[in-house]
Amino acid sequence: MDFLLEDSFPRPLVALAGNPNTGKSTIFNALTGMKQHTGNWPGKTVSLARGTFYHKNVRFNIVDLPGTYSLLANSLEEQVARNFILFNRPDVMLVVTDATCLERNLNLVLQIMEITDRIIVCVNLIDEATKKGIYVDSDVLSEELGVPVVATAARRGIGLYELKEMILKVYSGEIKPSPRKVNYGEELEKAIGELVPRLEKTFSDGINPRWLALNIISGDYSIEDIKKLIKVRDKNRGGNAYGYSYFSTVPRNRELR
């Protein structure tokens, strides 16, 4: 059933991102229970899972984005995850990481922190990390990143209540994350500074110009697709402004670079 073309994502909206095999789907299932649907993204062969959960009388809508290692759009999964974060602007962005190999997972965290401030880092599999003698200090990690960090062992139900509490606090504005921005060195920062004003004129609708500049510098030519998506979205505004239809407008046979 292609229900994706029939409606837009209701609010409040939580998006779930993370590397493959971090327990992301386990957290999604634990939060939503039986209140979930699966299908494909419009025009894509990538599967989509969405559902709902309640916490303190607030009904949250949650989307489980494809597992990715980055948002550089080198694969369909990365392209879908990136476009969703950029265009649907989730009220809360939940990034799931693996406590047993946290350093590798932080690459995606830092990329998402360049796009949105409304981010929570979930350090999952803390029970497996403990077995390996690994201890993750959530408070120190939160201070270093500038965003809330919640430790969980989703398969055992550990930390899930605290995770829902944090989602509610970030959504309500009780907690306002302030992600630390990476300093890429004098030369790159100078190049970013020169690009940002030009991008602000071209992309004047809230898409983070610093993130766009970083992607252009890294050679991500899929930025051209973003411009096309913006045109389609703007054309459709007033009807289905944050709907799904524009996801299928990027040429399907486009060579990903």
Please write the tens of the pLDDT for every residue from 19-37: 999 999 999 999 998 767 7
Q: What is the structure's pLDDT at 182?
A: 86
Encoded amino acid at 99, one letter: A
User: Residue 17 pLDDT more than 80?
Assistant: yes
- 157 versus 236: the higher-pLDDT residue is 157
Mean pLDDT of 177-202: 88
- Given a cut of 60, whether residue 152 has pLDDT beyond it is yes
Tell me how many degrees the CA angle 257-90-159 measures, rounded to the nearest 5.
105
Q: What is the tens place of the pLDDT at every residue in 49-65?
A: 899 999 999 999 999 99
For 36-69, the DSSP string reads EEEEE-TT-SSEEEEEEEEETTEEEEEEEPPP-S
**Given this model, what pLDDT does residue 253 score?**
35
Gap between the Cα atoms of 4 and 25, Å rounded: 20
Instruction: Decide: pTM greater than 0.95.
Output: no
Residue 79 backbone phi and psi in degrees, to 5: -65, -45
Any idea which of 161-175, 215-229, 241-255 has the lowest mean pLDDT?
241-255
Instruction: Determine the average pLDDT of the residues in 195-206.
Output: 76
How long a stretch of residues is the chain?
257
Pairwise CA distance, residues 229 & 235, whole Å: 10
- Per-residue pLDDT, 211: 84
Question: pLDDT by residue (tens digit) across 95-137?
Answer: 999 999 999 999 999 999 999 999 999 999 999 999 999 999 9
- The whole-number pLDDT of residue 147 equals 98
- The confidence score (pLDDT) of residue 238 equals 47
- Which is higher by pLDDT, 237 or 207? 207
Q: What is the overall mean pLDDT for the chain?
A: 82
Task: Flag whether pLDDT at 79 surpasses 80.
Answer: yes
Is the four-CA dihedral 9, 13, 19, 22 of positive or negative sign?
Answer: negative
pLDDT at 172: 97
What are the percentages of helix, strand and coil residues in the chain, rounded to 5? 45, 20, 40
Helix (H) or strand (E) holding 193: helix 186-202
Q: Mean pLDDT throughout 180-198?
A: 89
In this model, does residue 43 exceed pLDDT 70? no
Average pLDDT of the residues in 41-53: 79
The pLDDT-based confidence of 78 (bands split at 50, 70, 90) is: confident
Is the pLDDT reported for residue 243 higher than 70?
Answer: no
Q: Could you give the angle at which helices 209-217 and 186-202 cross, rounded to 10 degrees?
A: 120
Interhelix angle 223-236/76-88, nearest 10 degrees = 40
